Chain A
Amino acid sequence: MEEIVTRLKNAVINYEMETIADLAKQIVDQGIDPLVAIEEGLAEGIKTVGEKFGKGEIFLPELVMGAESMKAALAVLEPAVPQGQARKTLGKVVIGTVQDDIHEIGKNLVSTMLSSNGFEVIDLGVNVQAADFLKKAGELKPNILAMSALMTTTMPRMGEIITPLKKENPSVKTIVGGAPVTDVYAKEIGADEYSGDASGAVDSAKKLVG
């Protein structure tokens, strides 16, 4: 592996989010294959960070900084990937917080955990209408549609998405989460998986694509 790709990997492991984009630019300028840089540099780096978090060696702020570093470099490297090629991922996840709910920190943590574990994550943001979830599921054909709600008043919206989704795109699996959501509730509304925390969401996602 090129020395500079190893440096890119270490820049993720050391959370160098402020300077990693410059390093990625150097890689592109030097004519190194951006897919190699992504897969052997960024993906390996974030995998190490994810493993350390899983073992309890580092904490959430470090994990998030690692993911932010990866994102900063991806923003430079992805546009440089030649047309027709794509990076390998474990699967595609479309994620969002349901209509009338603007609480997103839990959803963001799940996104971070999923991308640090090799998933491609498309984040629809907050206050996402049911119709938009369904539209994106149809367009992007993800493996998984993940939804969150933080309030007891918005929680039922998840069920209102799952029911039509099963008819329209039965191959798309669903994960639900958020503070008031429980395993019991997830079963009631017909979700495929439920997770009480961000690490659990990774296990759920792996189960659904495995």
Chain B
Amino acid sequence: MANSIPVRCRRTVLSSDGVQRIRYASLDILERTGVIVKSKRAQKLLVDAGCDLDEKSAVVRFPPSLVEECARARKRSVTFFGRTAKHDARLDGDHVHICSDGNGTMALDFETRRRRTSTKEDVAKAAFVSDALRGHGVNWPSVTSQDVPMGTRHIHDLHASLENTEKHITLATNTTEWEVEDVLAIGAAAAGSSEEFARKPFISSIHTSSSPLVIDAEGMDAGFAAADGGMPICFYVMPGPGATGPVTLAGSVAVGVAETLAGNTIIQLHRPGTAFVFSCGMAVLDMMASTRAGGGPEHGLTSAAYTQMAHHFGFPALAGGFVTTSKEPDEQAAYEKFASSVTPILAGADLIAGIGLLEDCRTVWLEQMVIDDEISRIISRMAEGIDVSDDSLALDVIDKVGPGKDFLGVRHTLERFKTEHFMPTLSDRSSWDSWEAKGSKTLVQRAGDEVRRIMNEHSVAPPRGEVEDTVKALIEKRAR
């Protein structure tokens, strides 16, 4: 099983009445306002199933009964298989998997300390470092390869990921049918055959709406190809409260849920039973700076509310978190990342995307990746809550130790302290003197040391040799 956070101490943000009202609101949006669906294939499926299509505007209006029927038609449990079985991530509503994220365009070069355009090497390094992290479960390439010929980026992103992680890979650079074909060809090479890949797909495919309420043609058709190849579909919606969604969080969550339900209806009509993941990143627009405020407290709230809605309809949720607009791994990055991730983790989002990036998911820092891992493990401990049982109350141990003694030297402590207490990797808890003796290192310096340790000590099992040949052939075919 992949690294995950069991959510025992769940904290929801919507009351059950709130969940019902958002459910009916999203169904109302789909029935009354409708969604622009540009894919002709999707339009045909929807009209045949009883939807109303306005030919001129491409607005489709959905009968609520159809939407709810298709929501019931999904595959009940979704597993994000790893390339190796120990990394299988079961999305069951009770475990949170931390996911790297997602197609940034810049990297802070670990060696030269220069901020520059991201390369294939950055995709590789970020995948390798995250593969080693104990708090990390699923790999979404942090950045995209921009030092490769046009038309081959999706091939290189996947190639670098397969070579540097055994964990599940979720991809967003396959936005057209032909790119999906390439991904499936590489997947088949890595699995041994197309059938084997479809049986245990270790790559999932991210497709998006364009908020508010637009589903593009190319992306949707790519989604059909991905579903046909057996890949789970993450349908990612991003209404930004105040900009591409109503300013109010409830209204934007309703728009986001409506878009996702529309996406699911289309996908299930095309291929019933396709594994489908509710996915969102709903951050407000900063009304002064005109930037997306991914590190704002609202982002955590929308992610948590959307997660509740996903679970209500019976789907797993992938939600944004660990986001900051800060430019380096500083104090703002620390508190914004904590604030935007603690809420959806405690709400039980099955996947949380965001670790390793700064500047609102633009620039990868390897140091930030290990810092975020530490944050995720702290929140993991919070999510476990307090277990109250005969064993944890430890009355016999208390009685045996007796008044005035200590509990350090008893077996009950020895056997449990590593799980009952959070064990830091980076956080400095030493005294002033020993901190000074170790070089008075800052958090970012300690994180850099940890990155170097991982680079030297970690290893990843290589993919099948066929991957290399397939990748080479595809690059030759697609480069322009």
Contact = CB atoms under 8 A, between A and B. Distances in A.
B172 to A, nearest CB: 9
Interface stretch (B161-169, B281-289, B302-310): B281-289
Contacts of A61: 242, 247, 287
Contact of B290 (A103, A109, A180, A188): A109
Contact of B216 (A102, A179, A180): A102
B362 A184 contact: no
Interface residues of B toward A: which range?
A: 20 to 34
Interface in A171-210: 179-182, 184-185, 188, 196-199
Interface string B82-119: 00000000000000000000011110000000011100
A109 B243 CA distance: 10
B442 interface: no
Nearest to A152: B144
B288 A60 contact: yes
A199 B105 contact: no
A199 B291 CA distance: 11
B375 to A, nearest CB: 24
Contacts of B243: 105
B117 A56 contact: no
B289 A188 contact: no
A125 B175 CA distance: 22
Contact of B362 (A102, A151, A179): A179
Interface in A77-126: 100, 102-103, 105-106, 109
B106 A102 contact: no
A100 B362 CA distance: 21
A24 to B, nearest CB: 28
Determine the main DSSP class of B at the interface with A.
Answer: loop
A43 B324 CA distance: 38
Contacts of B173: 152-153
B218 A100 contact: yes
Given A100-B218, A105-B244, A152-B105, A184 B290 contact: no
A103 to B, nearest CB: 6
Interface string B113-127: 001110000000000
Contacts of A138: none
Contacts of A153: 153, 173, 175
A196 B287 CA distance: 15
Given A152-B144, A180-B362, A182-B117, A103 B210 contact: yes
Interface in B260-299: 285, 287-292
A197 B106 contact: no
B150 interface: yes
Contacts of A105: 240, 243-244, 285
Interface string B144-158: 101000100100000
A177 to B, nearest CB: 11
Nearest to B116: A184
Nearest to A188: B117
Contacts of B397: none
Nearest to A154: B175
Nearest to A56: B288
Contacts of A102: 210, 214, 216
A196 B290 CA distance: 9
Given A100-B218, A153-B175, A185-B105, A199 B290 contact: yes
B287 A185 contact: no
A179 B292 contact: yes
B117 A59 contact: no
A182 B243 CA distance: 22
Nearest to A105: B243
B288 A59 contact: yes
Interface string B450-469: 00000000000000000000
B330 to A, nearest CB: 19
22 contacts: A60-B285, A60-B288, A100-B218, A102-B214, A105-B240, A105-B244, A105-B285, A106-B290, A152-B144, A153-B153, A153-B175, A155-B105, A179-B292, A180-B362, A182-B106, A182-B117, A184-B106, A184-B116, A185-B117, A197-B289, A197-B291, A198-B290
Given A152-B153, A153-B175, A188-B117, 8 more contacts: A59-B287, A60-B287, A102-B216, A182-B105, A182-B106, A185-B105, A198-B290, A199-B290
Top 10 A-B residue pairs of the complex, sorted by shortest distance between their CB atoms:
A59-B287, A180-B105, A60-B287, A198-B290, A197-B290, A152-B144, A102-B210, A105-B243, A109-B290, A153-B175
Interface of A: 56, 59-61, 100, 102-103, 105-106, 109, 151-153, 155-156, 179-182, 184-185, 188, 196-199
